[in-house]
C-alpha cells in the first residue's frame, strides 16, 4: 500500500466517523451543525436550497468530510409538514464513497449543499404550506429550519409545479437529463417553452442547451437552438435568476461557456469561466468540467487558454540597472496563477506581468507554438520604488516540444526606460509532458534602466519569438497539483 | 506445501550421482526421444511428484482421446486438444512413457514424464461450495439454443482428475461445454495454487431445481477410493438475474477490469466470489455480462489531460450510463423476476468523496454502478482494481439492491454492508446475521428489487437489527 493510499484510508476512517474525529480532537459538543436556507419562501416546483455548515468550536483542528448530501449516508434529514407525521428524506441515489476530508481549524466553518428537493419518490415539497426541516450530521443535530412553500399562480407557475411534481421530471433533472426519462424530458421542454421564470424553467433551459443526443458535444447548443445569441441570452437570464446549486450550477456554467463560444463572445465566456473557477475550486468534478471547457474553448475560439496568470517581479535597490536574478516562481494550484519573485537593483520595486494568453491551438495536439508578447504598462514615474504592470501575451501554436527565444522589441520601450542588454536573447524550449504542464518564462535576463523621467501609462513591449530550434519553455497550468514553475538561466 | 502434498524425500548417499544430475539426464533423454519421434504432444510440466496434475497438449490440433501411463489408462479431464490427467501414485522415481492417442486410436505422441518424488494420496476434504445459474450454449445439441444449468463448484483439498462428485449416492459426470478449451477452466476446475476446486455442471431439468435439497454431496477418488465426509447443498429458491454492463475506454489511465471474471471470482488466494457470497446468503446468481463496450474514438482522450485529474466518469460514459438506465426502464420485468442492472464505470469523484459504487434508490432498486478506477486508485500503486475490492463493492451494491442498509449497529463491523470499513482490507465477505435475516426472512416487497417494492431506507421497512 502506498503512503497516499494509507493516508486516504486514514482520512476515510477519520472522515466517515466525524464523531470519532471530534473525539480525537475535542468533545463532540465542540462542533455544531447548522442548516441555512438560501430562500425561506419558494413556489411549489422550485428546489429548496439548503446550505449545511459544520463549525469547529474546539481549540484543535479536525479533519472533516463535509458530505451533507444525504446520499452519502453521513447526514440525514427529517421533513415535517404541519399536521403530518415527520418523514425521513430518502435520497434517490445512495453513494458508497470514500470521503475526502478537509482540515477544519478552530473557529472555522465548512460549508456544503444539502440537496433534499428530489428524493427516491420524487419532488418533496408538492403541497403548499410550512415545512420544518431538521437534520443531523454524524449525530450532531442541527436546529430545525422552516421553509414556506406557496401555491403556484395559475398559468406558467402552475405548469411548472405540475411538471416538477412528477417523480420522473424531478429525477430527470437530478440525474442531469438521462435519455431514459424521455417522457419527462418532453414535459420539461413543454414547460420550458412557457414564459416562466422559476427554477424549473432555468433547469429546463440547461437541458435544452444540451445536444438532444446526449453530452457528446457540449458545444452543440448553438445548433440545437439554431441561434447562438439566443443561447447566450438564455444563459444570461438563467444566471440572473435565483442561484442554481450543485451539479445544475456546474452544468449551467459549462453550457454558458459553450454558448459564449458559439456566439463568438469570448469575454462573456471568460466571465462564466471565471465564475466556474472561483465557485468550484475545491470540486474535482468542476476540475473535470474546467478541463473539458479548456478543450472546448481550444476547439472553438482561443481566448482563454492561459487565463490571467499574474507574474509579480520584485525589483529591489535604488538604481537601475543591475542584473535581475530569479528567486522563485510559485503557481497557485487550480487557478493557474503564477507569481514570480525576482530581484533587480532598480528603482522599480515590482514588476507584475499578466499572461492574458491569446493562444492559438493546434487541433491535433491541443497545443500551440508561435509568438508571445510581454507588454508592461508603467504605472508610476520617477526613480522611486514603483510597480510596473507587465502583460505577457502568448500567440501561436505550441507543439509537444518546441524551442524558442526571448527577444526584446526595443521600439516598444517607453520613453525614459531602457532595457539591457540591447540585444536580449533568451533561449527556451517548450515541452508539454502528459498530465503536467508548467509555465516557465526566461525573464531573468531582462534589465530595466531609467534614462530619464518616465510616465504613468507607458508600456514596455517584449516580444517572444518561438522558432523551432531553441531550448526550453514549459507552459501550462496544472489545476490539480501543486506544480511549481522554475526559471532557467540558459 | 499444500495439504496432501507430502513428498518422500531421499538423501543422497556417498557415491551416488547427485539427484539433479539424474533429473537432467532424464529430461535430456526425454527431449532426445521427443526429437527422434517428432512428437506433436507436449506435457506441462515435464516432471514432478506422483499425484501431479499434468496438462497434455496436442500441438497438431488432433483431439486427445486416451492417455496411457506405463500401460495404465488414466482418467482425463477436458476434451479436444488439451486435457488434464493425474500421475499415478504408485509410480517409482524416474522417466515414464506417456502415450497419447486420438479418437482413431492413432498414437499422437509418446513423451516422458519424470517422477522426481513419490507422494501418498491425500484424503479429500470439502470446505465450501457455490452455486451459479448459467446459460449453456449448445448449438449442436438436440433442441439447440441456450440451456439453463446450475453449476456447482466445490471448494476443498485433495482433489485430482480422478475425483468424482457423488450427489445423493449418484455419481455425477463432470462435463465441459463443447468447444471450450480446457485451459479456460483449469483454475476453476482444479487448481494447484490454492484450495482446489471441483466443478459440476448440473442440469436443473434433470438433476437440480431451485429450492431443492438438501443434497448430500461427497467427493470420491475413483483410483484411491478415498472420499470426503458428506456435505449438504441446498439449491436456493431465489434467483437474481444480474446483468453486468462493462463500459470501458481507450482513454489513458482508464483501467476497468480486463476480465469479466474479476467481478465474479477472486483471482487471489482468498476464494471469495460473488456466487459464493450469495449462495451462502441463500441466493442463486445468474450473472450475464454485456459488452465490453469499448470506445476508440480519438476524441475520447481528454484534449488536455495535463489539466485533468485522471480518468473520470466521462461524458461518453454518462451517455452509456443513461443508456443503461434506459435499458433498465424498458427491460426490467415486473413479472416476479429478480433483476439487477449493474454498470461498471470508471470514476465519479464529487470533490468531497471518491465514489466506489452507487445504487439508484428509486422504488425499483434495480440500478447499481461500480466505479472500478475509483476502487483501484492508489491502493497498490498499480492503478489496477484489486479483485477482492471489486467483489466486495459489487456484493455491497447488490446488497443495497436487496434493500440492505449500512447496518453497522449489529456488531458485525467487517461484514459486507459495513460502510465505515469500506476501505479496509480484512472483510469477512459474508453478510451479517441481521442482513441474512432480512435477505431470507423479510416480506418479499422489502427485499425484492422492482417497481412497487419498498425503497431503500424506507421507514416502512422493518430493521430490527439496526435499532433504527
| Domains in chain B: boundaries | 20-119, 125-233, 238-447
**In DSSP terms, which residues pair with A405 in a beta bridge?**
A427, A465
Q: What is the pLDDT of residues B261-311, one digit of tens each?
A: 444 554 334 456 788 889 999 999 988 776 544 333 333 333 222 222 233
* Residues 149-188, chain A, touching B (beta carbon < 8 A): 167, 171, 175-176, 178-180
Say whether residue A4 is in contact with chain B using an 8 A CB cutoff: yes
Q: Provide the pairing of β-strand B338-345 with B367-371.
A: parallel
Residue A480 inside a domain? The answer is: no
Residue A234 inside a domain? The answer is: yes
pLDDT classification of B353: cutoffs 50, 70, 90: confident
Contact B356 A72 (CB under 8 A): no
Angle ∠(B76,B80,B82) on CA atoms, nearest 5 = 65
Residue A476 inside a domain? The answer is: no
Contact B354 A100 (CB under 8 A): yes
Residue A482 inside a domain? The answer is: no
> A378: buried, middle or exposed (CB in 10 Å: 19+, 13-18, 0-12)?
buried
Give the torsion through C-alpha atoms of B310, B315, B318, B322, to 10 deg: -170
The secondary structure of residue A190, as a DSSP letter, is H
Residue A489 inside a domain? The answer is: no
Q: Which of A1, A123, A245, A284 to mutate to test the interface with B (most CBs of B within 10 A)?
A: A284
- Distance from the Cα of A182 to chain B's closest Cα (Å) equals 9
Q: List Cβ neighbours of B142 (8 Å cut-off, separation of 6 or more).
A: none
* Residues 308-327, chain A, touching B (beta carbon < 8 A): none
Count of pairs with CB atoms under 8 A, one residue in A, one in B: 194
A383 plus A459 within the same structural domain: yes
Is the pLDDT score of B115 beyond 90? yes
Say whether residue A254 is in contact with chain B using an 8 A CB cutoff: no
Say whether residue A250 is in contact with chain B using an 8 A CB cutoff: no
Contact B358 A102 (CB under 8 A): no
Sheet holding A109-115, edge to edge: A31-37, A49-56, A109-115
Q: Which residue has the cell 532424464?
A: B26
A234 plus A375 within the same structural domain: no
Counting as low any pLDDT under 70, the low residues of chain A are 1-29, 156, 172-252, 254-255, 258-259, 261-262, 266, 277-490
Q: Domain B20-119 belongs to what topology? A: Immunoglobulin-like (2.60.40)
Same fold, B20-119 and B238-447: no
Q: Class of B125-233 per CATH? A: mainly beta
* Residues 44-103, chain A, touching B (beta carbon < 8 A): 65-67, 71-73, 87-88, 90-100, 102
- Where residue B383 falls (left for φ over 0; alpha for ψ -120 to 50; beta otherwise) is left
Q: Which residue has the cell 429550519?
A: A145
Q: Provide the pairing of β-strand A145-150 with A41-43.
A: parallel
Q: What is the pLDDT of residues B216-248, one digit of tens each?
A: 989 888 899 999 999 999 889 888 988 877 665
- Distance from the Cα of A273 to chain B's closest Cα (Å) equals 15
Contact B353 A476 (CB under 8 A): no
Mean pLDDT score across all residues of chain B = 68
Please report the DSSP string for A205-262 in residue order. HHHHTSBTTBSS-GGGHHHHHT-HHHHHHHHHHHHHSSPP-HHHHHHHHHHHHHHHHH
CA atoms within 13 A on the CB side of A95: 23
Domains held by chain A: number: 3
Q: What is the pLDDT of residues B90-100, one digit of tens each?
A: 999 999 999 99
Of B306, B422, B455, the CB nearest to A96: B422
A324 plus A407 within the same structural domain: yes
- Among residues A150, A170, A203, the one where a domain terminates is A150
* Residues 358-387, chain B, touching A (beta carbon < 8 A): 358-363, 374, 377-381
**In DSSP terms, which residues pair with B379 in a beta bridge?**
none
Record the pTM: 0.61
Q: Is the previous residue joined to A56 through a cis bond, with omega within 30 degrees of 0?
A: no
Report pLDDT for B450.
79
Say whether residue B306 is in contact with chain A using an 8 A CB cutoff: yes
> Cα separation of A152 and B221, whole Å?
78
- Distance from the Cα of A265 to chain B's closest Cα (Å) equals 22
**CB contact at 8 A, B266 and B259:** no
pLDDT classification of B343: cutoffs 50, 70, 90: confident
Contact A73 B406 (CB under 8 A): yes
Residue A214 inside a domain? The answer is: yes
Range of the domain at A91: 3-150
Q: What is the CA radius of gyration of chain A?
A: 27
Q: Which of A92, A276, A288, A432 to mutate to test the interface with B (most CBs of B within 10 A)?
A: A288
Q: Which of A436, A446, A441, A424 is nearest to A483 (CA)?
A: A436
pLDDT classification of B253: cutoffs 50, 70, 90: very low
Q: List Cβ neighbours of A424 (8 Å cut-off, separation of 6 or more).
A: A406, A407, A408, A445, A446
CATH of span B238-447: 3.40.390.10
Residue A481 inside a domain? The answer is: no
Q: What is the pLDDT of residues B127-167, one digit of tens each?
A: 888 888 876 555 444 455 566 777 787 888 888 888 888 88
- For chain B, the first-to-last Cα distance in angstroms comes to 49
Q: Is the previous residue joined to B206 through a cis bond, with omega within 30 degrees of 0?
A: no
> Cα separation of B174 and A235, whole Å?
66
- For chain A, the first-to-last Cα distance in angstroms comes to 41
Nearest chain A residue to B364, by CA: A120
Contact A96 B456 (CB under 8 A): no
Report pLDDT for B268.
39
Q: Is the previous residue joined to B214 through a cis bond, with omega within 30 degrees of 0?
A: yes
Say whether residue A377 is in contact with chain B using an 8 A CB cutoff: no
- Where residue A43 falls (left for φ over 0; alpha for ψ -120 to 50; beta otherwise) is beta
b/e code A425-435 from CB counts within 10 Å (16+ = b) = ebbbbbbbeeb
Report pLDDT for B432.
85
Report pLDDT for B360.
81
- What's the grid cell of residue B362? 428509486
**CB contact at 8 A, B428 and B449:** no
- What's the grid cell of residue B99? 502415450
Residue A473 inside a domain? The answer is: no
> Cα separation of B111 and B96, whole Å?
8
Nearest chain A residue to B380, by CA: A1
- Distance from the Cα of A329 to chain B's closest Cα (Å) equals 19
Contact B361 A91 (CB under 8 A): yes
Amino acid at each position: 500500500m502506498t503512503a497516499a493510499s494509507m493516508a486516504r484510508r486514514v482520512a476515510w476512517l477519520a472522515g466517515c466517523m466525524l464523531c470519532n474525529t471530534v473525539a480525537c480532537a475535542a468533545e463532540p459538543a465542540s462542533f455544531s451543525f447548522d442548516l441555512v436556507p438560501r430562500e425561506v419562501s419558494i413556489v411549489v416546483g422550485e428546489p429548496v436550497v439548503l446550505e449545511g455548515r459544520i463549525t469547529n468550536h474546539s481549540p484543535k483542528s479536525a479533519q472533516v468530510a463535509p458530505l451533507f448530501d444525504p446520499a452519502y449516508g453521513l447526514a440525514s434529514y427529517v421533513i415535517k409538514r404541519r399536521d403530518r407525521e415527520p418523514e425521513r428524506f430518502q435520497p434517490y441515489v445512495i453513494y458508497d464513497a470514500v470521503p475526502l476530508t478537509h482540515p477544519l481549524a478552530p473557529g472555522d466553518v465548512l460549508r456544503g449543499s444539502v440537496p433534499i428537493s428530489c428524493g427516491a419518490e420524487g419532488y418533496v415539497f408538492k403541497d403548499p404550506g410550512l415545512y420544518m426541516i431538521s437534520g443531523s450530521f454524524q449525530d450532531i443535530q442541527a436546529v430545525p429550519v422552516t421553509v414556506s412553500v406557496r401555491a403556484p399562480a395559475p398559468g406558467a407557475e402552475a405548469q411548472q409545479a405540475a411538471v416538477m411534481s412528477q417523480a420522473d421530471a424531478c429525477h430527470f433533472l437530478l440525474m442531469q437529463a438521462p435519455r431514459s426519462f424521455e417522457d419527462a424530458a418532453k414535459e420539461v421542454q413543454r414547460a420550458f417553452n412557457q414564459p416562466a421564470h422559476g427554477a424549473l424553467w432555468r433547469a429546463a433551459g440547461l437541458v435544452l442547451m444540451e445536444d438532444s443526443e446526449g453530452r457528446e458535444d457540449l458545444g452543440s447548443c448553438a445548433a440545437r437552438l439554431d441561434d447562438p445569441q439566443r443561447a447566450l441570452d438564455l444563459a444570461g437570464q438563467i444566471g440572473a435568476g435565483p442561484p442554481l446549486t450543485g451539479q445544475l450550477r456546474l452544468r449551467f456554467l459549462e453550457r454558458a461557456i459553450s454558448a459564449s463560444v458559439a456566439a463568438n463572445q469570448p469575454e462573456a465566456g471568460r466571465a462564466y469561466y471565471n465564475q466556474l473557477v472561483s465557485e468550484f475550486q475545491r470540486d474535482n468534478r468542476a476540475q473535470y468540467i474546467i478541463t473539458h471547457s479548456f478543450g472546448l474553448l481550444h476547439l472553438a475560439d482561443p481566448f482563454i487558454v492561459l487565463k490571467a496568470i499574474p507574474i509579480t517581479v520584485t525589483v529591489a535597490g535604488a538604481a537601475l540597472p543591475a542584473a535581475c536574478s530569479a528567486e522563485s516562481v510559485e503557481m497557485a494550484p487550480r487557478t493557474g496563477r503564477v507569481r514570480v519573485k525576482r530581484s533587480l537593483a532598480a528603482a522599480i520595486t515590482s514588476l507584475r506581468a499578466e499572461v492574458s494568453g491569446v493562444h492559438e491551438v493546434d487541433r491535433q495536439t491541443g497545443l500551440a507554438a508561435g509568438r508571445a508578447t510581454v507588454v508592461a504598462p508603467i504605472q508610476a514615474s520617477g526613480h522611486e520604488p514603483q510597480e510596473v504592470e507587465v502583460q505577457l501575451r502568448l500567440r501561436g501554436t505550441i507543439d509537444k516540444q518546441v524551442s524558442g527565444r526571448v527577444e526584446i522589441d526595443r521600439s516598444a520601450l517607453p520613453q525614459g526606460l531602457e532595457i539591457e542588454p540591447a540585444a536580449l536573447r533568451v533561449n527556451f524550449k517548450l515541452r508539454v509532458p502528459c498530465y503536467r504542464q508548467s509555465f516557465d518564462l526566461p525573464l531573468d535576463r531582462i534589465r530595466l534602466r531609467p534614462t530619464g523621467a518616465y510616465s504613468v501609462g507607458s508600456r514596455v513591449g517584449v516580444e517572444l519569438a518561438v522558432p523551432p530550434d531553441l531550448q526550453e519553455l514549459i507552459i501550462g497550468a496544472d489545476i490539480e497539483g501543486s506544480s511549481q514553475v522554475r526559471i532557467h538561466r540558459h | 506445501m499444500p495439504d496432501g502434498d507430502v513428498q518422500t524425500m531421499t538423501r543422497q548417499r556417498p557415491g551416488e550421482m547427485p539427484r539433479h544430475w539424474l533429473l537432467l539426464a532424464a529430461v535430456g533423454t526425454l527431449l532426445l526421444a521427443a526429437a527422434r519421434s517428432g512428437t506433436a504432444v507436449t506435457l506441462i510440466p515435464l516432471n514432478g511428484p506422483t499425484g501431479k496434475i499434468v496438462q497434455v497438449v496436442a500441438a497438431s490440433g488432433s483431439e486427445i482421446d486416451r492417455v496411457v501411463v506405463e500401460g495404465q489408462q488414466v482418467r482425463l479431464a477436458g476434451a479436444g486438444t488439451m486435457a488434464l490427467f493425474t500421475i499415478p501414485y504408485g509410480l517409482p522415481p524416474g522417466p515414464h512413457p506417456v502415450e497419447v492417442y486420438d479418437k482413431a486410436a492413432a498414437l499422437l505422441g509418446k513423451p516422458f514424464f519424470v517422477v522426481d518424488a513419490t507422494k501418498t494420496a491425500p484424503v479429500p476434504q470439502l470446505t465450501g461450495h457455490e452455486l451459479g445459474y448459467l446459460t449453456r450454449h449448445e448449438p449442436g445439441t438436440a433442441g439447440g439454443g441456450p440451456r439453463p444449468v446450475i453449476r456447482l463448484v466445490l471448494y476443498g483439498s485433495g482433489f485430482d482428475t480422478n475425483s468424482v462428485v457423488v450427489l445423493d449416492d449418484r455419481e455425477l459426470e463432470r462435463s465441459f461445454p463443447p468447444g471450450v478449451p480446457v485451459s479456460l477452466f483449469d483454475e476453476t476446475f482444479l487448481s494447484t495454487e490454492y484450495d482446489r476446486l471441483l466443478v459440476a455442471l448440473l442440469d436443473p431439468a434433470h438433476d437440480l431445481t431451485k429450492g431443492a435439497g438438501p443434497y448430500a454431496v461427497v467427493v470420491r477418488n475413483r483410483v484411491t477410493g478415498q472420499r470426503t465426509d458428506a456435505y449438504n447443498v441446498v439449491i436456493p429458491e431465489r434467483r437474481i438475474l444480474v446483468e453486468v454492463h462493462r463500459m470501458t475506454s481507450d482513454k489513458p489511465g482508464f483501467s476497468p477490469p480486463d476480465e469479466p471474471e474479476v467481478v465474479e471470482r477472486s483471482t487471489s488466494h482468498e476464494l471469495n466470489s460473488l456466487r459464493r457470497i450469495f449462495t451462502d446468503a441463500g441466493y442463486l446468481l445468474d450473472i450475464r455480462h454485456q459488452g465490453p463496450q469499448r470506445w476508440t474514438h480519438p476524441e475520447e482522450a481528454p484534449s488536455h489531460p495535463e489539466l485533468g485529474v485522471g480518468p473520470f466518469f466521462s461524458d461518453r460514459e454518462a451517455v452509456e450510463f443513461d443508456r443503461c438506465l434506459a435499458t433498465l426502464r424498458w427491460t426490467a420485468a415486473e413479472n416476479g423476476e429478480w433483476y439487477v442492472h449493474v454498470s461498471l464505470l470508471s470514476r465519479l469523484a464529487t470533490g468531497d468523496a471518491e465514489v466506489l459504487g452507487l445504487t439508484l434508490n428509486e422504488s425499483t432498486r434495480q440500478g447499481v454502478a461500480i466505479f472500478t478506477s475509483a476502487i483501484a486508485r492508489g491502493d497498490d500503486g498499480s492503478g489496477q482494481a484489486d479483485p477482492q475490492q471489486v467483489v466486495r463493492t459489487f456484493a455491497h451494491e447488490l446488497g443495497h439492491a436487496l434493500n440492505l442498509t449500512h447496518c453497522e449497529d449489529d456488531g458485525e463491523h467487517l461484514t459486507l454492508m459495513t460502510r465505515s470499513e469500506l476501505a479496509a482490507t480484512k472483510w469477512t465477505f459474508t453478510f451479517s446475521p441481521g442482513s441474512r435475516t432480512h435477505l431470507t426472512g423479510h416480506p418479499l416487497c422489502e427485499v425484492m428489487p422492482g417497481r412497487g417494492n419498498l425503497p431503500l431506507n424506507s421507514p416502512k421497512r422493518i430493521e430490527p437489527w439496526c435499532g433504527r
